[in-house]
Amino acid sequence: MQSLAGKVAVITGAASGIGRALAHQLAGMGCHLALADIDAEGLEATASPLRRESLQLSTHTLDVSNREAVHAFADSVLARHGRTDLVINNAGVAVSQTIAELRYDDFEWLMGINFWGVVHGTKAFLPHLLDQGEGHIVNVSSIFGIVSMPTQGAYNASKFAVRGFTEALRQELCGTAIKVSCVHPGGIRTNIARSARFYRGIDGKTDAAKAAIHFDKLARTSAQQAAQAIIKGVQAGQPRIMVGADARFLDHLQRLLPASYPRLLGKFLNKK
């Protein structure tokens, strides 16, 4: 899929961050868009500057954790656009809490969006892609789907699950014209830290605002840069798309020291 002009791209989590940046960059490349998010106001803010006669654009207020809603969304997209070429399951949320104190309802909320949202989006559009005989599914995991971090047990669980699910799907579709990519962003300057359910940091404190500021200092990659890397990965047919120098570093660290990297990261984090 080197040329995206005239293709139809589906993006969840399109109201902000990487999803919004993907929408704007793909539109600039002549790609038609079906944009979804639970945040209707943010979704309109993404879509409004993109509306023009030459671009087929639809917006869909959607809770990706709702299976029936996602399948209805897929039907709506196909009715509106006639086809789907690129499905980017991007919607995600975060919870920061130790596993000992993590509430079940927070865990279930996060898994419903981060993991089941990916499963729902994949399952809803895959039959069409199989009938069509071609397409590309992009599931957004995280560098936290490769390395684990304290107070991120729920987030790690969801992103490791996305990685395993996506890699299995890729193997099942081997030999077809349907490509599958798993995206592993490092620290990206988006609103995910500010919208997280934040309870406890690694220092035992619970100041969400300070945690978001700290995250912004560590996050070196902008949403626009992340979107650019994802699109390049799609065009190149990359099965694993690493986003950011920090993601690439941590990926190499995990490969080199799979058993001892947690201790090294623990020392680094305790210095902060």
Catalytic residues: 155
Residues 6 or more apart whose CB falls under 8 angstroms from that of 142 comprise 92, 155, 159, 184, 185
DSSP helix/strand/coil, 140 = strand
Rounded to 10 deg, the angle between the 40-47 and 17-28 helix axes is 30
**How many other β-carbons are positioned within 10 Å of the β-carbon of residue 140?**
30
Q: If you compute the radius of gyration of the chain from its CA atoms, what whole number of angstroms results?
A: 18
Residue with tokens 């950011």: 244
Q: Which two tokens stand for residue 266?
A: 């623990």
DSSP helix/strand/coil, 89 = strand
Give the separation between CA 98 and CA 201, rounded to whole angstroms: 8
How far from each other are the two terminal CA atoms of the chain, in whole angstroms?
43
Strand partners, 241: 183
